[in-house]
Structure 1
Amino acid sequence: MARPFGLALFQGDADPPPQSRRLTFNVPRWIGVLVPLRTYNLIQVAELALAIYLYSLTHVTLIDWIVAAARTSGGPEPIPEGFAYLAGVAVALPVALRDRWPLAAWRVAIVVMPFIIWLTIAVGAADPPYTMPAVLTYLMVLYSVAVRCDRQITLAVWIITVLLAWIVHPNSMPLVTVLATIAVLFGYNVRIRRTATARLIEEERRTQLAEGAQAVLEERTRIARELHDVVAHHMSVIAIQAEAVPLKAAGDPAQLEAGLAEIRQLSLEAIAELRQVLGVLRDQDGRTDTTPQPGLDRVDELVANARAAGLAVLVKRAGSLDGLPPAVGLSAYRIVQESLSNAMRHAPGTAVAVDLVRDGDELRLRIANGPGAAESGPPGAGQGLVGMRERAALLGGTLDAGPTQGGGFEVRATLPIAGGKASV
């Protein structure tokens, strides 16, 4: 129970003043040599002016009271006039300190207030013995303590104020308690609102950081999916071509040269698509690559590459496949590309059926292959199927993939066309 009083009187400290540039101004350079600071706050300047005014009002009022008391008694002055100037400093000093050190200003106030009360009683000019400048100073200091100090410290300051008021002048204690309570409650309410505003700003900042991190993660996922589709397809075709060309050429330089030229063309296509995917990452100015994304109009290129790698691909189209939204066309292209790549890796030499059907507002894809005619490659990491499902889900569609009864594999996808205008 004694700890709050110890903090209020000796050990406690206040929060730093709020940083606000709305009420600040810069001192011109030609005046800067005459003043200690280059930037001032209007509130600090106003409080300094108020402190000067309270100093002047206090010492002038006390001098008038001293002179009036001497005339009334017909004797010497009850106290030296120099005490009036000390009283002015005692009233003004807490006001000058309260912006930077509100708790220290209150400690100064409770030390100097007995001196001011004694002067008021000595001249016999006020009952209760509180001057208006002293009351104003103390209420301003109480408000600053409530705004900038912890709740326990504020409560201890209020209790000490009420006890001192009861000791000094019991008859005026109810009025002093009411005034002190109003100042403390008003300051505490301001503190609560500032704290809530600061927390709200911090939560908004954390939300923005979380949203930014989520956007970065989604972008990384999108780029990883694109890279997987490009690299997996083209590298699979290139690897199969590099293995098959020497066998097909059988020492014929013309066929060997044609096969190597085809491998070179596939490599250039892979590099071009990689540049298209990574273009936005390379550009520090934020410009994006405007090269058109591939769509179903380039499915024949995929089929040609797959046939060159040894697959027997049969394509069937139904409905008009022209005028598809770019996102739908790109997703359909990548699903066909990944399916053919999987067939090349896991079922080399097999027959593949590719069905592309547009039915109203839906695009249905079916890519099915039989068992491989040769030994399949090593199993992959499974990211290709995950990427295809993500592409379909982003458009609001579905994708099912799994083995067939004959030992093959089948991919079925349904992509809505009406909602495919967003980029994928």
Structure 2
Amino acid sequence: MTSGPARQFLALRARRVWKTLVRLTLPLTEALVTGVPDPARPRSRRLAPRVPHALGLLPFRTIDLVLLGDLVLTFVLFTSGLSYLRTQAVAAHSPLDREALVFAALAFSLPLALRDRWPLAAWRSAFLLVPLGMVVSRQFIGGVPYTAAASIMYALVVYTVAVRSERHVTVGAWVVTALGAWIIHPDSMAVVTGLVTASVLFGHNVRARRLAAGLLAQEERRSERALAAQAALEERARIARELHDVVAHHMSVIAIQAEAVPLQAAGDAARLEEGLGQIRALSLTAMTEMRRVLGVLRDGDGDGDTAPQPGLGRLEELVGTARSAGLTVTLGLGGDLTGLPTAVSLSAYRIAQESLSNAMRHAPGSTVSIKIVRSGAELRVQVANSAGHRSSDRPGPTGHGLIGMRERVSMLGGSLWIGPVGNGFAVTAILPIMEKT
């Protein structure tokens, strides 16, 4: 008896041999029994035209030209093969068995009609029917037993298997065909193997090209979706910046005035009415700008955004609003600020607006200095505020406002500095001025 280690070694070798046999026979098994081909590709309109209205009673709406071509070629191979077999039988002075001749002609042509819908079934039937048809044809055909019809049919069927099946299934069909050719007629095995090999290689090349084209199209669709998602994110970020600037500034002013107006009025109805009128005007302005931004979301083409974007031309209005909220604002402009690109003018306006909003929230009652100077191909925006005269519940500007500033400046390719200066806070932005061409 063998020892324990020896039995384990033999069992391991047996498992390896079994796995090797399974790996070698898997292509043959899938080709002959279990393999499933890929579905047929969708037909283009040129290969599947619609049925004319005059033939509207037909049970199908399109004409499959590929299937129709296979059926026509099957009929041609059948009739030509039957005529050839009958001629050979007469020349050989063999008795004409019509049923046998028809069976042989069908065996050499019928599988072709199945290759589009069921390629592996067509090859399997051809692999079985061709030898059976040869049993009849060899009675009066000398030399190579394969007819032209059988050769054409088998080459087309094997080509379809290579186009529609995985590589190992195609290899299994090639091996089975070569073994069958060697068994049926060894002298012609080289010719049969060469014909089948050419068909298999051509079909595999077509399959590889189609798969590559499919992967490329899929990658293009994935890239388009990624670009669309990126564009959507950028648009969302732009809208978020606009909404933040509008809400942060106007709501800050409204909140401050709502608190200050009753104290300033001191029971004077006229001053109270005047203050409430300013609050109402600011509210309407905020609502107008919010409608403009939200209109982009409602209109897919952006056609609803008809209101002009704010720019440096509205700086005086912005400064007046900040002053009404209790800030002491000085405005200094330099250089020719007319004719600036819309993106530059809007970004400069929003930077000044966000800086004033931060001063209202974090340094109420402070003194704010705004300097906007154009120098050559650059626009310099500097906003600085003092510590303020009243206490604030926040230590300094943080959050989405500063992020929005950085994003605006980054999109224009400019530079931004933000940070404390003495007891106050300062924002300095340099925006390149580049007209669109």
Which SS does the other structure have where 1:315 is aligned?
strand
Q: CA deviation at 1:148?
A: 0.6
Report the alpha carbon displacement of residue 216 of structure 1 after superposing the two structures with TM: 0.3
Mapping of 1:192-271 within 5 angstroms?
192-271=208-287
Written as runs of structure 1 = structure 2, the 5 A alignment for 1:35-114 is 35-70=58-93, 77=95, 80-114=97-131
After superposition, the CA RMSD in angstroms is 1.5
Q: Who is 1:366 aligned against?
A: 382
Residues 1:296 and 2:319 aligned together: no
Matches within 5 A, 1:271-310: 271-283=287-299, 286-310=302-326
SS in 1 for 2:63: strand
- Asked if 1 retains the 8 angstrom alpha-carbon contact of 2:363 and 2:390, the reply is yes
Counterpart secondary structure, 2:108? helix
Is the contact between residue 95 and residue 105 of structure 1 (CA under 8 Å) also seen in structure 2?
yes
Say if 2:367 and 2:385, in contact at 8 Å, map to a contact too: yes
The normalised TM-score by structure 2 is 0.91
CA distance in 2, matches of 1:113, 1:378: 90
1:156 aligns with 2:172: yes
Q: Does 1:26 align with 2:23?
A: no
Partner SS, residue 6 of structure 1:
helix
**1:29, distance to aligned residue in structure 2 (A):** 3.7
Distance 1:340 1:286 in 2: 29
Which residue, 199, 202, 226 being the options, matches 1:183? 199
Amino acid at match of 2:47: L
Q: CA deviation at 1:143?
A: 0.5
Specify which of 408, 412, 436 is matched with residue 391 of structure 1. Answer: 408
Q: Quote the offset at 1:289 in angstroms.
A: 1.7
Q: Which residue of 1 aligns with 2:12?
A: none
Residue identity opposite 1:38 in structure 2: R
Which residue number corresponds to residue 382 of structure 1?
Answer: 399
Superposition deviation, residue 152 in structure 1: 0.4
1:330 paired residue number: 346
**Residue 398 of structure 1: how far off its partner (Å):** 0.8
**Which stretch of the first structure deviates more once superposed, 379-388 or 220-229?**
379-388
- Counterpart for residue 155 of structure 2: 139
Aligned to 1:73: none
Residues 1:13 and 2:36 are matched in the alignment? yes
**Contact map agreement 1:58 1:84 (CA 8 A) in 2:** no
Aligned-pair distance for 1:40? 1.5
Runs (5+) with no aligned partner, structure 1:
71-75
The TM-score, its normalising length taken from structure 1, stands at: 0.94
Whether the aligned pair in 2 keeps the contact of 1:66 and 1:81 (CA below 8 Å) is no
Q: CA deviation at 1:174?
A: 1.1
Q: For residue 285 of structure 1, report the CA deviation from its aligned partner.
A: 5.9
SS across alignment from 1:122: coil
Counterpart CA distance in 1 for 2:250 and 2:403 is 19
Which position in structure 1 is the counterpart of 2:373? Answer: 357
Distance in 1, Cα, partners of 2:30 & 2:398: 63
* 1:246-266 residue CA offsets vs partner (Å, 9 max, x unmatched): 000000000000000000000
Partners of 2:295 and 2:302 within 8 A in 1: no
Contact 2:104 2:137 (C-alpha < 8 Å) held by counterparts: no
Deviation at 1:31?
2.6
Contact 2:104–2:134, Cα closer than 8 Å, also in 1: no
Separation in 1, partners of 2:281, 2:307: 19
Q: CA deviation at 1:288?
A: 3.4
Q: CA deviation at 1:189?
A: 0.4
Code of the aligned partner of 1:247: L
Q: Do the aligned partners of 1:241 and 1:263 also contact (CA within 8 Å) in 2? A: yes
Of all paired residues, the percent bearing the same amino acid is 53
Distance 1:171 1:83 in 2: 26
CA–CA separation in structure 2 for the residues paired with 1:228 and 1:298: 18
CA displacement 1:396-422 (0-9 Å, x = unmatched): 1111110112x1000001011125x49
Q: How many residues align?
A: 412
